[in-house]
Structure 1
Amino acid sequence: MTISATRSYPDWLNKVPQATLLFWIIKMMSTTVGETAADYLAVDLHFGLIGTSAVTGFLLACALLFQLRANRYVPALYWICVVLVSIFGTLITDTLSDLLGVPLAVSTAAFSIAMIATFAVWYVREKTLSIDAIDSPGRERFYWAVILFTFALGTAAGDWVAEGLNLGYANSALLFGSLIALVAVARYAFKVNATACFWLAYVLTRPFGASCGDLLSQPATSGGLGFGTIMTSLLFLAVIVSLVSYLSFTQKRPALQRAL
């Protein structure tokens, strides 16, 4: 599935990748890794939610610093940031629900409001929400802020549907996968706005990937297939590394010439 706005800028001006089929495959897998890796670090390695959040948050801050300072799109650096955002966003929601007792429905609503507010400020300041125009420091900061909210929102919504509403992991994955398919139909059959479709799909791939991750990793007694968090994380990480390595050789762009 390729969902992207009409390009009005030279391709190399953007600090983020095009929304190609490979983009969506890696994005979905990164959400799965975010779910399983967060569980593995917090539970299996006994780091706890606070310890795992602190370590992951520090690594994410370092990765984003390098990403923001880079003068061109670097596939490996970009996707490292996405994977870390996925893990950190998962931990934010888990901390709110597991440690602070915030209901998943409340978290879902709160993150939705935060994301919409960020979009509103972004649009007022930059007059566009298109991923084809991430060509300035301000736009890139808005982009990553929205990305973080989409992962936290997706985690809350996915857990709410699968666990809070007792749909189960398989049914939850089917539900969110169907919604993604509807977004694709809306875009290509009915020509709905490309930017809106992109961000809708971006939000929905988070609970879809998380549901798939839980389905694969959780024991059969909990409705999963029992592959475990380690095996699931390693498998998806291997695929992500392979695909990003391929992109690193095929999507090289010139350095971005702009004032910082």
Structure 2
Amino acid sequence: MTYELSDTPEAVRDANSPTRHAHRLRLNKVPEITVYFWIIKVLCTTVGETAADLLNEKAGLGLTGVSVLMSALLAVVLVVQFRTRAYRAGVYWLAVALISVVGSLISLTRPLGTSIGDYLSQPTGDGGLGLGTVVTSVLFLAVILGMVVYLTVTRKDVIDREPIAGQAA
């Protein structure tokens, strides 16, 4: 988690300054790596795979159309992510999910999330559970959104700020 603390240019240049530590904290825009992080990350990979399949096959966009659309959306979200001054769960995880979608379009590997997505969405005759891409995408997107809302409210993925000398806690 990022802590937006004011600092002066002189304090930032001083390597031993408490404000330099605060400045580094402000640059951190990612959540703490916890079990929640890994659950959401795997689910994002699953959503990436099934969403790409859904848009490619069911929405009729084709591989090129899906690639262009998702790449453009990813570019917009990355601009927002880079412009934020602190960790924002919704923006961060949307970027991760879109990276997973775009990555699944060009991926040569089969990560865990992709395998789970395929297992759930493929017909039973092909060894899957037959949920289809729509149900699988909605299911995993709902779990991701639920977890992101939970983490936003509880802040369990936020690194607690240690008191810095000379600043009130």
TM-score range, shorter chain: 0.7 to 0.9
1:220, distance to aligned residue in structure 2 (A): 1.6
1:239, distance to aligned residue in structure 2 (A): 0.7
Q: Distance in 1 between matches of 2:96 and 2:125?
A: 31
- Post-superposition CA distance 1:145-174 (Å, at most 9, x none): xxxxxxx3xxx221xxxxxxxxxxxxxxxx
TM-score (normalizing by structure 1): 0.50
- Post-superposition CA distance 1:157-207 (Å, at most 9, x none): 21xxxxxxxxxxxxxxxxxxxxxxxxxxxxxxxxxxxxxxxxxxxxxxxx1
Q: Distance in 2 between matches of 1:56 and 1:25?
A: 23
CA RMSD of aligned residues (A): 1.9
Question: Which residue is 2:73 aligned to?
Answer: 59
1:76, distance to aligned residue in structure 2 (A): 0.4
Question: Which residue is 2:125 aligned to?
Answer: 221
* Corresponding residue to 2:35 among 14, 21, 27: 21
1:221, distance to aligned residue in structure 2 (A): 2.1
Question: Which residue is 2:46 aligned to?
Answer: 32
Question: Which residue is 2:166 aligned to?
Answer: none
Q: Is the 8 A contact 1:53 1:91 kept in 2?
A: yes
Question: Which residue is 1:242 aligned to?
Answer: 146
Q: Distance in 1 between matches of 2:68 and 2:52?
A: 12
Q: Is the 8 A contact 1:12 1:72 kept in 2?
A: no
1:250, distance to aligned residue in structure 2 (A): 2.7
Question: Which residue is 1:49 aligned to?
Answer: 63
Question: Which residue is 2:8 aligned to?
Answer: none
Q: Distance in 2 between matches of 1:230 and 1:83?
A: 16
Count of matched residue positions in the alignment of Structure 1 and Structure 2? 136
Q: Distance in 1 between matches of 2:154 and 2:30?
A: 14
Question: Which residue is 2:87 aligned to?
Answer: 73
Q: Distance in 2 between matches of 1:247 and 1:65?
A: 23
Following TM superposition, where does structure 1 have runs of at least 4 consecutive aligned residues deviating by more than 4 angstroms? Answer: 9-12
* Corresponding residue to 2:113 among 209, 215, 224: 209
Amino acid at match of 1:157: T
Structure 1: runs of 5 or more not aligned? 1-8, 93-151, 159-206, 254-260
Q: Distance in 2 between matches of 1:53 and 1:225?
A: 27
1:222, distance to aligned residue in structure 2 (A): 1.9
Question: Which residue is 1:191 aligned to?
Answer: none
Amino acid at match of 1:87: V
* Corresponding residue to 1:86 among 100, 103, 115: 100
Q: Distance in 2 between matches of 1:82 and 1:23?
A: 11
| Closer/same/farther in 2, CA of residues 75 and 12 from structure 1, 3 Å limit | farther
Q: Give the number of the structure whose residues are more often helix, by fraction.
A: 1
- Post-superposition CA distance 1:68-92 (Å, at most 9, x none): 0100000000000001010011112
Question: Which residue is 1:109 aligned to?
Answer: none
